[in-house]
Amino acid sequence: MATPSYSYDIDTLVSTTLDAYSGDPINLVTQSGEKFLNRLKDKGRIFFIKDCEKIRHPLLIGHGEDSSYYIPDTMDGDPDTDNLGSVAQEILTQCNFSMVAGTRNINMPQSMPVGDVINYVDTLVRANLMKIWNEEEQLWWEETNAYSPFSGDPDTASTTGASIWKPGYPMNAKGLVYGGTDHGTGATFLYSDEAFAGVKVDDVGSEFSTQTLNSSGDPDSDTGRLAFVQDLQSVIDSCGFSEAEHCTDVFTTKAVYEGLLQYLREMGALPAPIQANMGASWDHSFDFGGVKVHWSRYLSKDSDWDVPGSTAACDPVLGLNLNSLRMNVVAKPNTLDGQLGFIHQVGSTIPHAAKTNVFKRIAWKRNFSVDNGRRSMFLMTGAND
């Protein structure tokens, strides 16, 4: 490993430190990504890619004509069941996910604190980059709006609950489970004729739509927990299609997590030590119905999560397939051993006008996409409403 040449020039210190941390983003995710990004990291679903305008994933819907069946070695060559047509019936299209960018200033005094300047700059830069990944986690769980992934998707909501494209913002969890799908009852909340990732469910079929269920159970009461657990198991089962296409993780609020955990502890025939420590690991998760259940501090009980148009607040329960969902980060070359990073340094460190502070402008590009469809993901509403 080549040894970088250091000086006490502010720009040199900041630039070198940015290169070092930018080249180790997975460690930053570990320190600041909380639960969702850490799960993506653990599943190997954070990809570093070349710069681009958008990501495209092929969407193959349908299977063509039915197969034909026949007895071997018949002289007439006529199958008993004749489906040997000539018309192509598969629907092959591309889902589009626009790349979006973020930027921030790293501000610092032009006269550094007395002492170990290198350590000060290291701490300052690391704190800023950790904040970036923490903000990405918060953006993913943003509750008020449902964000679509493609600049060609509608930029205004046609009705309550519909997802929208917001320039500069990546797709979020609510956009993933609401966008271009049908929710609730009646024509008011049918969005399948609206584009999501540039594709309409009405054009390609329900295989590009998420699963939904409005639960009749409540995990905060003894009488409601059984119905809630049955509903949760049912919607998890409805998302299972193959080894790769199934729900892998459920995310919900702390209240639902604790209610479900209490039920499982009470009903499970487990030894006392295992029962007491179930779900008490550092990452606050436990296994249920073949998936891993987590709670997020950024999810809360809110009417925005209930059936569209409802004024009743409920706790969201979201099922994600982390074999399909992925985060794409544009890789940027840096000067340390030619390794790749994710931070683009926009010019040198320069002073703020009429201030004694200086700043370094940085930028990054990323988005979320799904490369194995959405039918293996779900939104369950109605909990604690």
Strands (E) in the chain, as ranges, are 46-49, 54-61, 91-98, 100-109, 211-214, 249-252, 285-288, 291-295, 315-320, 325-330, 332-333, 340-341, 344-345, 350-351, 357-370, 378-383
Residue 175 has pLDDT above 90, yes or no: yes
Task: Check residue 173 and give its pLDDT.
Answer: 96
Q: What is the 3-state secondary structure (H, E, C) of 65-85?
A: CCCCECCCCCCCCCCCECCCC
Q: Which residues pair with 164 in a beta bridge?
A: 147
Model confidence pLDDT, tens digit, residues 93-128? 889 999 999 999 999 988 877 777 888 899 999 999
- Indicate whether 2 pLDDT > 90: no
Q: What is the pLDDT of residue 186?
A: 57
Structure tokens at 88: 């192509």
Concatenated DSSP letters of 320-354: E-TTTEEEEEE-EE-SSTT-EESPEE-S--EEPTT
Most confident of 50-64, 74-88, 229-243: 229-243
Q: In the structure encoding, which two tokens stand for residue 279, read together?
A: 């779900």
Q: What is the DSSP letter of 272?
A: H
Give the mean model confidence (pLDDT) for residues 132-156.
93
pLDDT at 9 over 50: yes
pLDDT of residue 1: 44
pLDDT of residue 6: 45
180-191 pLDDT, tens per residue? Answer: 888 765 556 677
How does strand 46-49 pair with strand 325-330? parallel
Give the separation between CA 343 and CA 22, rounded to whole angstroms: 6
Give the three-state DSSP class for 296. coil
- What pLDDT sits at residue 116? 79
Q: What is the pLDDT of residues 339-366, one digit of tens each?
A: 778 999 998 999 999 999 999 999 999 9
Answer whether residue 219 shows pLDDT above 90. Answer: no
pTM attached to this predicted model: 0.88
- Residue among 303, 335, 231 at smallest CA distance from 23: 335
pLDDT in tens, 308-318: 666 788 899 99
User: Checking DSSP bridges between strand 54-61 and strand 285-288, what pairing results, if any?
Assistant: unpaired
The band of 165, judged by pLDDT with boundaries at 50, 70 and 90, is very high
For residue 136, the surrounding DSSP H or E stretch is: helix 117-140
